[in-house]
Structures are given as C-alpha cells and as structure tokens.
Amino acid sequence: MSDVKFISPDTLEQAVDVYSKSSKEGKTKILAGGTDLLVQIRSGISQPDTIIDIKNIKELKEISNDNGSYTIGAAVAGAVLEEEKNFGNNWPGVLEALRLIGSEQIQGRASLGGNLCNASPAGDSVPALIASGATVKVHGPEGERDMPIESFHSGPGKTNLKNGEIVVNFQFPKKQKNSGDAYLRMIPRTEMDIAVVGCAVNVTIENDKCVDARVALGAVAPKALLVEDASKALIGSNFEKEAVEKAALACEAACNPIDDKRGTISYRKKVSKVLFKRALEKAIERAKKG
Amino acid sequence: MNEMDNKWIGKNTIRPDGADKVTGRAEYGADTIMPGMIWGKVLRSPYPHATIKSINTKKAEELDGVFSVATSSDCVDFPVDTPVILGIQDIRWMARNVLAKEKVLFHGHPIAAVAAMTEEIAEKACELIEVDYDVHPWAIEIDDAIKPDAPILHDFIKFDGKPSNIAGTLEHKKGNIEEGFKDADIIIEKEFETAAVHQGYLETHACLVSVSPDDRTTIWSSSQGQFMVRAMTSFITGIPQSSIRAIPAEIGGGFGGKTIVYLEPVATILSKKSGRPVKMVMTREEVMRASGPTSGSKSKVKIGAKNNGKITAAQGTFYLQAGAFPGAPIRGAAGCCLAPYDIPNAHTFGYDVVSNRSKVAAYRAPGAPIGAYAVECVLDEVAEALNMCPLEFRLKNAAKEGTKAVHGPTYPVMGYVETLEACLSHPHYKAPLKKLQGRGYASGFWFNAGGESSAQVNITEDGNVVVTTGHPDIGGSRASIANITAELLGIDVNRVSVLIGDTATIGFSNLTGGSRVLFASALVVTESTNQVIDILKDRASKIWNIDKEAIEWENGEARPAGDNAGKFKPLTLVELAEQATPTGGPIGAGHQVNTVGAEGGFATHICDVEVDIELGIARVIRYTAAQDVGKAIHPAYVEGQLQGGVVQGIGWALNEEYIYNKDGKLDNPGFLDYRIPVCSDLPMIDTILVEVPNPQHPQGVRGVGEVPIVPPLSAIANAIYDAIGTRFYSLPMSPPKVLEKISD
Amino acid sequence: MAKIQVKTKINGEKTEFLCQAYDTVLDVLRRDLNMTGTKEVCSTGDCGACSITMDGRLVCSCLVLAAETEDKNIETIEGMAKNGKFNVLQKTFLEHAALQCGICTPGMLVAAKSLLEKNINPTETEIRYWLAGNLCRCTGYDKIVKAVQAAAEEIRENA
Ligand SMILES: Cc1cc2nc3c(=O)[nH]c(=O)nc-3n(C[C@H](O)[C@H](O)[C@H](O)COP(=O)(O)OP(=O)(O)OC[C@H]3O[C@@H](n4cnc5c(N)ncnc54)[C@H](O)[C@@H]3O)c2cc1C
Ligand code: FES
Ligand code: FES
C-alpha cells in the first residue's frame, strides 16, 4: 500500500488521461466524496493502486441554471446542493433523495455522481434521478456522451461506463409547469439505514389530468427501475382510485427483489405499492402548487 | 442525616472528570502511547466450528517488521475437565475464548496474534499464518443445538448422561405448582423468542501492554474492572498478580461487555515475547463478531389467576444461548422474571445452551429482560382476560416488604408498589391516544449487588480532599462520590477530587457491574471519610488539649462541644491540614470490605407507540420510567441511567438482532445493519425517581443501572398490541416481521 | 513511492504531515499527530464519533483521506474551547449531564456546534435529525438534546 498513488488533477482531461491508462481491473479509483470508496478500501473490497480525487475539477463541482435547466456537477455534496435554494424548489424529490443519504456528516461529502457510480440497487438518489428524466454527461478518452439515468447501470455494482469514462454532471430538463416530484424510502429506523424500498414519482398535471408521469423504484431489483407500466396507468387519468391501484400493481409486478438481512421478497413487494401511493400523493400536492 | 439539610447529596453537581471529557483530553483505551510501541492484530477463525489440526506461524514470524506471534501454546494450559472459577467466569473457557486451543467454536474466534511495526504489517502477517482445520457441522440457533443429532461443541459436557450442548440448568420453586394451576380460573400459556443483541458500547476493546524482561507488566486498558484484568491476565499468562499493574483507562461504555478480557492476555504474551510495548485495538467488526453479545432465547411462560385478579401459579422455562462456552445468564431470566410479584406457587427453569456463536458476555441485568419479556407479556394477556387495568392487576399481586420471592429471599423495605402508584398518578397514564397509537405497561426487577470495594480518602496539605476508589466510572459515579464526601465533610464539592486507582494504588475492588458501584463505593468512602473526620477531631483535640469526644465536626470544621462549646475558635479543614505534621502526620484513611446489604431494584414503565400498519413500523412516541432508586445522590446521572437503559431496551425490542448467514457467519457486524436507536428515532424519556431508601446503606443507595432495561421489551410489545390488536411473540419486532403478521 | 506530504491547518495552526494514500484524516490525527480527542468507533461513517469540520463543513474524519486536506481548514474537538474557556455547548453538556461514558461526546459537540452555526433556533426534531449520525449508547439522547437546546437558548440570548 505504500506505493499507492493519490492525485488530484485540475482538469477533466488530466483525470481522464490517467484514468483511461490505468482503470483496467479496477486498480484505479475515482474519489468523489469517498463515502462509499473509503468504506470499501477499509474492508478490503477495493484496493486501488491509484486514487484520483476529482474534487478539484471545476465542471464536477459546478451548479448552473440555464433558464430553468439545471446542471449539477457530479461531485457536488448533498449539503452544498441544499444551499442552492432554487434547485430544491424545482426538484424537491431529487434533493430529498440525495439528502436522505446518510447523516449530516455524510452529507458534507456524498455526491450524486458517487451514488450513481457506486451502483448499489438501493442508492437513494437514483430512482429520483430517473423519475426526473435527468441525463448524465460522461467524459472519456473518446470524448463526451450523454446517457439517460435508467440505462446507466447494468447490474448490482455495475455500470455501462466504458474504460476511462468519468461522470461529469447531471442535466435536468426544464421543470414543467404544474409538475412535481417526490421520493420516499422505507427504512427500519428514521435515519442511517440503507433503503429497503425506495420510490420516486414525478407527475405533470393539466386541468386535473395527469399528462406526464415517471415512476421509479429502488432496492427491489438488481438495479433501480423505471416502471413504465405505472406511468402508462397514470397518464391520462385523474388519479382516480382505479388508475392509482393499477399503477401500484405495476410497481409490485416490476419488483424482482431478493430476501436479505434488510428485508424479505414479500415485504419489499408490499411496501413498493405503499410507498408508490404515498410518493404519488406528495408529488401531486407539489405539482398542484406549481 | 436529615434530607432537607443536604447540601450536596441530591444535587446535580458538575462531574470531576467532565472537563476532560468535553475537551477531548480524557484518555480512553486506545488513546495512549508508549515509547517503542508496536501493534498487535488477531487472526480469527473463518469457520464456525472446526478442530485445529495444526498452526504454522513460521512465515508470519519471518515477515519484515514482525516482532512476535502468539498462539494458545503460549498460554497456561487449563485442562477442559477441571473448573477454574473466578467470579462468575471459568478460566478454562476464558483462556480458550482469548486464543482457541483444540477447536474453533465460532466464526471470528481468535486463533493467533501477531505484533509488528505497524497494524498493516501485523495484519499481513496474520494472513501468512497457516492453520490446518478439520471443519465440522455447526449449530447456531437453540433448536439446532438441542436437537438429538446436533453437532456437539464440547464432548465432555453431558446432559442426561449423554454428550449435549445443554451445559447447565437452574431452577427456582415455590409452593405447589399443580395445585396453583388447579385453583386458577384462567390460565394463559405462551411461547416467546428473542434475538441475540449486543451491548453496543461505542468504544471498541483496546489495550496497551508493556512487559519487562523480569515479567513486570503494565497494562493500560479500558475495562469494567482493572482487578479483573489483572487476575485474568495473570491466570492466562502465568505472570503473578503482584507483577502486573493494571491501569484503568477511561471507559467508553461497557454495559457488562467489558467484564471479561479479550486482548489484554494476548498483548501481554506478544509484549513479553517481543520486549516491546504492544497496542491492540479491535475494529467495530471484530467487536461485533467476537465479543459478547447477550443471549438469544426461547421461552415458555404459563400463568394462572383467579377471577378476582390474584395470581395463583406461574411457570417459566427459559432456554438461553451461551455462545461457544457455558455461561448463559439463566439466573437473571429464571430468577428475576417473577420477582415483582407475590405468587404462592411458582416454578422457573433455565437451560444454558452452547452453540457456534461468540461467547456471551454480561449485558445490563443479564438475562432479566429475557425473562421479564415473556412474563410481562403473559401478564398483560391475563389482565386483559380478567378485564383489569394492567397496572391495577400488578398492584393486586405486587410483592411487598415481607413477601417471599420465588428466587428465595424475603424482601425487606422496597419500593415496587410505589413505582406502580407513581405510574397510576402520572399524567402519562391518562393522556389521550390517537388512532394506531397504543399504550403498554411492564415492570422489572434486578438483584443489584454488593461485593468487594476499597477506598482511600486523603486530605491534601492545603486542606482539600482526594478520594480514590477502585471501580472504573462509566456513568458518572465520581460525581456521586464527590457529593457524598463533600456532604460528610461539610465542604464545597469542588474541593473534592475523585480518582480511580490502578491495581497498585488502591485495594481490591470488584467489577463495575451488577449496579454495585455506587452502593459499594459509597459504603467504603463513607467509612473512610468518617475515619478521616475522627482523625481530624483527634488533631483538634491535641491542639486544644481537650477530649476528642468533646469535639464535633460540622460544616467543614472542628468545633468544641458540650462543656467546651464556644471556648475555642473552630478549626477548619484547612487549618487542621496546615498543622498536620506537628499533630501526628498526614491525614487520611482507607477502608476495604466485602459490602453487603445491596437490595433489589424495581421499576414500572409506561410506553406509547404508534404503528404504521402499511409498512410495519412501530415507533415509540412517549415513554415514562418509574423506578425505586433508593436515594438519588446525583439525580441527573440517575435519570441518565434510566434513560439509557430504556433506549437500549427499545433497540432490543424493535430492531437490534444478530443475523447469521447460511455459512454460520454474522451478517451484520457493523452499526449500519446492527441498528441501535439513533437520536431521531426517539422521544424524550421521562423518569420518575421513586426514593425508598435502602435501610442497609448509609445514604440509602440502591443500584439503579440495570433495572431500566428490564421492562421495555414487554412494555413495547404490550403497547403495540394496544395499538393494533396483534400480539408479537418474537423479538425484534422489526418492520418485515410486523407487516407479515399484520397481513396474515 | 515516497509518502505524501500535506500542508494543512488544524484548529487554526499550520500543520504539516506525511501520510500514505489510504490514511484517513482520523488515522493521522490519532496516530501521527497524537490528537486523540477525535474518537474512532466504527471507521465506516456510521457513528459520528470522529466528527470534525473541514472548511466549515461537518464530516466524518474516518471518511476523508488525509491527502485531501491540503490547504484545508480542519477543526477538531481540541480547538473548541478557546483561550481556556469552554464553548457554550461544552458548558451546557456538563450542566445537563449530557454525557455518561463520554466517548461520543467530542463528536457530538462538534456536530452540535456545526448545527448551531447554521441555526440558532432549531426545533427538537431538527436537533434529533441533525444528530442522527452521532450514536450514543449511554444516554438515550434525552439530555444531549436538552443540552443543545440550552446552548441554543444561551446563544440567542447573547446574540
Ligand atoms: C454511514 C453511511 C450511510 C450511507 N447511507 C446511504 C443512504 O442512506 N443511501 C444511499 O444511497 N447511500 C448511502 N451511503 C452510501 C454513499 O454515501 C452514497 O452512495 C454516496 O452518494 C456516495 O457518494 P460519494 O461522493 O461519497 O462517492 P465515492 O465514495 O467517492 O464514490 C463511489 C463510487 O463511485 C465512483 N465515482 C464517484 N464519482 C465518480 C465519477 N464522477 N465518475 C466515475 N466514477 C465515480 C467511485 O470510484 C466509487 O467507486 C451511505 C454511506 C455511509 C458511509
Ligand atoms: S469512526 Fe468515523 S463515523 Fe464512526
Ligand atoms: S455517553 Fe457513552 S456513548 Fe454517549
């Protein structure tokens, strides 16, 4: 370990250059907030020989608002994003999902990019990002590309990033009038737990009718899911009982969970329906406010 | 002493060790260094059950930076068939728990240890140790350990004449149980289960040991007893106790879990072999895997009562996990469970069951919460069947002064009834509840303990006071001792400093445990202080040239009394200290004794919960704990004991559990998945300090630390029933379990 | 490769140290700088005993690499009492018996201070959630919350 390298490049190009030359076999690791990476190093799960700290790279720390379209740097910590008041007014669901990660101490460090790239099926911000319709910009040896969040992961702990690619930022669509998003998770305690089920809902309402809806679930499958059948059930409805029930059943049907120390299959399925309904209610309330 | 006149007893003074603790100065087990210090690490078993065929440490020894390697062959050999009893522990087991000998008995069982220049090298060297195992089938749960073809952990343990994992039993009997049940109008019998839970002290086990070539040994470690550390290390290493100086570090929580050694003997061997001081610090994961949780359990309780509400008979059978070696706290389960009640016919029976889990260690009122959980839940059902208020029902059957307890003693003055009455008249009892909210009640008992204690009270040359006792202070006992000493001497509390002596500077003092510390140390400190007062009077008598008997000690000064009253100007402590040398020399006194007269403690709790029936989550929304505390010397720290105990009970009831995977390994060895309550889970915890002084103690002290963890398990279960009409018979009542049962 | 040289500021004092890439700030504080006031309880971010602030932001020092602290401002428990005087939280923690064993106390104080710097009038719920990442096994949190409330009140009165 005494020959492990630590570098903190100032530009994306430098970072990608080092990363692409040595990222094979996972021996080089990107460090954002380190709240996943350091735990993995401590337990021996990850033993990189080079650590690239990306927090000195401008693009990754930037928050910008272009006429209502937000771009959030991949390494921006939760506590920092919260201070950007207007972001929370636009995307309260995304912010609350990010803010649910760990404690205030974890919030001082944990980033959207880290949460996404760590690729835990239970990552809290991921369903909210999916529901928001955000895309992620990645930069690699072959240049830049954008990906929808829902196609970012290939399985638990696995992403579709190519060799040497780094996540740069998240681009949010302009928030629609009368739309609102929300994220809820189930944990046994009130804080400091990993989601047993997470659900994000983003709806747009016109004349009491649902004109757009995106529903996403976390911790119920190998990766976070966009539940298109739930969206279909909602779009065009007045959120009448039958439509909501149909969407809830679609959520339950989309679940493909495991039994583990945090919850059973049957528990996760039941809870996905409940959380969906509660998150929907919250999203509708927010949508109605603007 | 007249209550009303107390100046310090009963006051919330600032603790003597407080400033150090809020500034980061206080030194805990892992906070010291010594010149030339190296680091020790432990190699642990990857299997839950295996015979060790051979251990080859050669490669580890040859690694650059490695100084020494230890295995059980470096320890004193204690044959498995000869008990070596020390307190409630058996050194045969302790030695094998510290370093496995013939077999490894749980995943994480220590096998060898290495001392090296850095922790990293020591860890690497551990990986180089070659162990040849013969792996056996294992048993984790009680049912698997007691079934007929169960894998046997210890061949020589016999039950009913056959090798068995039942290592011991204990029973209490009173009256005639069959007749008692015949008399009953209603009988309820239920079975219960609880999961193993960890004490969860935040400070991990840590020590620093230095052994010189003539075996003189200094141990710096955090434990619940420096004398226990000295004795156990001496037994296991063969170094005589007189050569070992065990220095108590500040201790970052123990709750019973630090009443035994894990690292100290190992570090001693490593230091002896290397000639260097050796520091060892467990990781959180090591603490969870290999230090004592308390038992998981299975039990069956049957209670019969008459329609008039009188209990006629009670019966309880308790199986408790001991972990890898015998010693489950069956005494606490079978002995405490019926203690609050006056029951004519009763029978309780406990089984001590070994299995391939880490050896259990004491945890706050060991065994008692398990017994009380089953009994108090059944009592709730009986009260319901009789259509009685659960508190009135308990009042009707409450034990009082003169009651012969099922576990043996006839009670002296005690305050159980007062805790029930305090709850009945508390606003919480009548407060309205909303939908899906419920209220539960439960009582609890703990024996409390006396035992050996030593103290020394010295007057400094400038007329202030230094008190030394021998019990590590976990929860603020130094503050209480300062209060008592200041009260007796009639001086300002800030003139008293209280220290914990090491094994070389203070007489033998038994463990900080069993809720005994303040009871016992107050006794010896009182006796020592009274002796000091006697000496002070003697010195005044010399100065005034009058009889000692004609002198009173009041308000921090010697005053001439009786015929001499007013004849001389009183001499203050400072003045007497100034004249110490000409009047006879240093002023101080010590006392050492095996204290007796510790009386049991009783509590009654009221708990409100709210249940989210769609998610299965139960949250405690209000809690009130009433307890007979004897006399609260420092009320805030007494309240703190109640609040802390209650919250540990809440964790036990709702979310804490040891979860094993199919390979016999603990699956949740960290605070992320071993879920102790966090701040946002809880309401304020109200306390009612009922004071029925212990007549056998100069200040009326009763132990207070353990009782509060006894009632919460059942208080919460009963509250959940009240909220949603479903009874739970298995802990923890975690969301998946709750939801599954509700949806059935 | 040689060790990494880091220049940083700890409690206002310029500090230089050498570390390895995997060393955390907590490792360096406790092991190399002998600043043991910051406690190590889990090393995985779960307990908050190792809380410090870095450039004013509350973090777990077990989850920050020492190499990341170049040019940063670190504050630890050792820097909380100023000129031999307690910070108001240290005082109220003592007055309210908000510690028993005291091992959680340094982290609790650092976290509470960071809350009160943001919000001098927190509700009980805000205090409880802010401190959710600081485990305490001894007190049941009751007196800790009350001590923070008392400190906030004192700060408001003196504001
Ligand atoms: C106590 C505790 C509680 C937690 N609670 C939660 C919780 O409630 N919910 C939850 O979802 N998570 C939780 N986590 C996990 C973790 O905090 C989150 O996943 C967090 O968002 C990770 O962000 P980070 O910036 O710290 O990532 P890092 O640890 O820095 O990185 C995580 C992974 O992503 C890679 N990576 C990071 N950024 C990039 C990038 N820009 N491009 C390419 N790869 C990158 C890293 O190499 C690493 O493999 C918790 C962790 C702890 C320690
Ligand atoms: S030691 Fe850092 S959070 Fe526990
Ligand atoms: S006081 Fe002991 S952990 Fe908080």
Question: What tens digit of pLDDT does each residue of B189-212 get?
Answer: 999 999 999 999 999 999 999 999
Indicate whether A21 pLDDT > 90. Answer: no
Domain limits of chain B? Answer: 38-136+203-252+258-290, 297-448+599-743, 450-595
- Each residue's pLDDT tens digit, B313-349: 999 999 999 999 999 999 999 999 999 999 999 999 9
- Ligand 1 center to residue A115 CA distance, Å? 4
pLDDT of residue B1: 44
How far is residue C133 from each of residues A80, A167, B51, B672, C122, measured CA to CA in Å? 18, 28, 42, 11, 17
Chain A CB within 8 Å of residue B655 CB: yes
Helix segments in B545-589, DSSP class H? 573-578, 580-583
Cβ contacts of A39 on chain B, cutoff 8 Å: none
CA nearest to C67 within chain A: A6
- Rounded Cα distance between B156 and B293, Å, is 25
Look at residues B176, B149, B143 and name the one whose alpha carbon lies nearest to residue B163.
B149
Predicted local distance difference test score (pLDDT) of residue A85: 83
Cα-based distances in Å from B689 to B635, B648, B683: 8, 19, 19
Angstrom distance (rounded) from CA A94 to CA A76: 13
* pTM for the whole structure: 0.98
Tokens 């009183």 belong to residue: B570
Please state, in angstroms and as integers, the Cα–Cα distance from residue B724 to each residue in A24, A270, A273, B624, following that order. Answer: 55, 19, 21, 21
Residue A53 backbone dihedrals phi, psi, to 5 degrees: -80, 120
Residue B613 has pLDDT above 60, yes or no: yes
CA of C39 to the centre of ligand 2 (A): 8
Q: A168, A118 in Cβ contact below 8 A? A: no
Residue showing tokens 């309820």: B188
Burial tier of B730 (Cβ tally within 10 Å: 0-12, 13-18, 19+): middle
Query: Strand order in B601-612's β-sheet?
Result: B437-446, B601-612, B617-628, B685-690
Give the per-residue pLDDT at B327.
97
- Across B654-692, b (16+ Cβ under 10 Å) vs e yields bbbbbbbeeebbbebbbbbbbbbbbbbbbbbbbbbbbbb
Residue A23, pLDDT above cutoff 90: no
Chain segment B2-37, per-residue pLDDT in tens: 556 799 999 999 999 999 999 999 999 999 999 999
Fold classification of B297-448+599-743 (topology level):
Aldehyde Oxidoreductase; domain 4 (3.30.365)
Query: B588, B593, B249, B589: which is closest to B454 by C-alpha?
Result: B593
DSSP string, chain C: -PPEEEEEEETTEEEEEEE-TT-BHHHIIIIIS--TTS--S-SSSSS-TTEEEETTEEEEGGGSBGGGGTT-EEE-GGGTSBTTB--HHHHHHHHTT--SS-SSHHHHHHHHHHHHHH-SS--HHHHHHHGGGS--SSS-SHHHHHHHHHHHHHHHHH-
Kindly list the structural domains of chain C, giving each domain's residue range(s) and its CATH number in brackets, ordered by start.
4-79 (3.10.20.30), 88-158 (1.10.150.120)
Mean pLDDT of B101-117: 98
pLDDT of residue A24: 64
The answer to whether A280 and A201 have CB atoms below 8 angstroms apart is yes
Classify domain A5-53 by CATH number: 3.30.43
Mean residue pLDDT across chain A: 96
SS (H, E, C) B104-134: ECCCCCEEEEEEECCHHHHHHHHHHCEEEEE
- Residue located nearest, by CA, to atom 4 of ligand 1: A102
ipTM of the complex, rounded to two decimals: 0.98
Q: How far is A32 from chain B (nearest CA, A)?
A: 21
Contact yes or no for B111/B44 (Cβ under 8 A):
yes
Q: What is the DSSP letter of B683?
A: -
Tens of pLDDT, residues A90-134? 999 999 999 999 999 999 999 999 999 999 999 999 999 999 999
How many CB atoms sit inside 10 A of residue B582's CB? Answer: 10
Q: Which two structure tokens, joined as six digits, stand for A5?
A: 């390298």
Separation CA A223–CA A255 (nearest Å): 10
Do the Cβ atoms of C134 and C104 come closer than 8 Å?
A: yes
CATH architecture of structural domain B38-136+203-252+258-290: Alpha-Beta Complex (3.90)
* CATH architecture of the domain with residue range B450-595: 2-Layer Sandwich (3.30)
Fold of A179-288: Enolase-like; domain 1 (3.30.390)
C-alpha distance from B256 to closest chain C C-alpha (Å): 13
Q: Are the CB atoms for B106 and B324 separated by under 8 Å?
A: yes
Domains B38-136+203-252+258-290 and B450-595 share a fold: no
Q: What is the mean pLDDT of chain B?
A: 97
Residue C45: list chain A partners with CB under 8 A: 35, 38-39, 102-103, 105-106
pLDDT tens figures, A175-205 = 999 999 999 999 999 999 999 999 999 999 9
Q: How far is the CA of C119 from the centre of ligand 1 (A)?
A: 27
Chain C residues 16-55 with CB within 8 Å of chain A: 20-22, 24, 43-46, 48, 51, 54
Cis preceding-peptide flag for B732 (omega within 30 of 0): yes
Query: What local confidence, expressed as pLDDT, does residue C1 receive?
Result: 52
Instruction: Write the CA distances from B398 to B189, B339, B395, B404, B418, integer angstroms.
Output: 21, 9, 5, 12, 10
| Token representation of residue B343 | 């029951």
- Predicted pLDDT at A2: 62
The answer regarding whether domain A58-171 maps to CATH 3.30.465.10 reads yes
**pLDDT value at B447 more than 80:** yes
Neighbours of chain A (3+ CB pairs under 8 A): B, C
Give the residue on B whose Cα is nearest the Cα of A265. B736
Instruction: Please tell me if residue C86 touches chain B, with a CB cutoff of 8 Å.
Output: yes
B152 has pLDDT over 90:
yes
Write A258-265 long-range contacts (CB < 8 A, 24+).
Answer: A261/B659, A261/B667, A261/B668, A261/B673, A262/A193, A262/A194, A262/A196, A262/B673, A263/A196, A263/A197, A263/B735, A263/B736, A264/B736, A264/B740
Atom 3 in ligand 3: residue holding the nearest Cα: C136
Closest chain A residue to B284 measured between Cα atoms? A43
Q: Is the pLDDT reported for residue A170 higher than 50?
A: yes
Q: Which of C93, C114, C112, C110 is nearest to C102 (CA)?
A: C93
pLDDT for B480 equals 97
The domain limits of chain A are: 5-53, 58-171, 179-288
